Amino acid sequence: MEQNAEIRRLLDVMPASGRMTIKIVSKPEQAQVIDATFPLPWQQYRPICINFDLWGRLTKPQRDLLLLQKVSWLSGVRWFKPDIYQGVVLLGLLAGLIESSQSDAVGVGVAVGLSAIAAFRIWRSNKSSESELNADKAAIKIAQRRGYSETEAAQFLLSAIEAMAKIEKRSGLNFTELIRCQNLRAIAGLSPVGIPETYN
């Protein structure tokens, strides 16, 4: 596989919104086929790291769906959308500034602690099984605009997750991957059993 040609192809597969913020980076030393670190609010670009030696062992449709899933997950992480936790972070930081101007150490500690708890909650919600399931669904929708049917896209993503575990020489799938695979089997019509309502 010619790496630069594959990167160009993947950029074409990617939705236009993803091309503005997401960079594909070659990382031959990593053990994972594809990886993306949790994006921090001050990062201008969100990298997706690919080990192209391992990447070449997957089929083209599997590669397409894995990339779209990572792009969807990264695009789904929003630090600055209006909800209760973002409000608590901002209020905590504002209160911390006011308390520090009044030299109130206890007030500063409480305000910063509140902000830290809310920021951790934002981070945790974006690292949850639910965020991965949402990214799978978003990837399937994008794949449908790229010529795949919903069933095909779900099957290719399912087979890619299972193939990745073998390529990376892991003993099996982790908990989140097992939930994702069960959900993808239901979408692909391979299983009548979906995932519990608590994950939807």
Tokens for 40, please give them: 């921090």
**Amino acid, single-letter form, for residue 24:** I
Could you read off the pLDDT of 126-153 as tens digits, one per residue? 566 888 999 999 999 999 999 999 999 9
* Domain co-membership, 177 together with 121: no
Could you read off the pLDDT of 19-74 as tens digits, one per residue? 889 999 999 999 999 999 888 777 788 999 999 999 999 999 999 999 999 999 99
Q: Which residue has the higher pLDDT, 163 or 191?
A: 163
* Domain co-membership, 14 together with 109: no
* Domain co-membership, 52 together with 147: yes
* Domain co-membership, 69 together with 145: yes
Domain containing 56: what range? Answer: 3-78+127-199
| Nearest residue to 71 via CA among 21, 30, 26, 32 | 21
82: Cβ–Cβ under 8 A, 6 or more apart, which residues?
A: none
* Domain co-membership, 138 together with 63: yes
List of long-range contacts for 168-174, beta carbons under 8 Å, 24+ apart: 168/31, 168/32, 168/33, 168/54
* Domain co-membership, 73 together with 89: no
Could you read off the pLDDT of 3-17 as tens digits, one per residue? 999 999 999 999 998
Q: How many structural domains does the chain have?
A: 2
Q: Which residue has the higher pLDDT, 174 or 127?
A: 174
* Domain co-membership, 122 together with 100: yes
What is the pTM for the complete model shown?
0.77
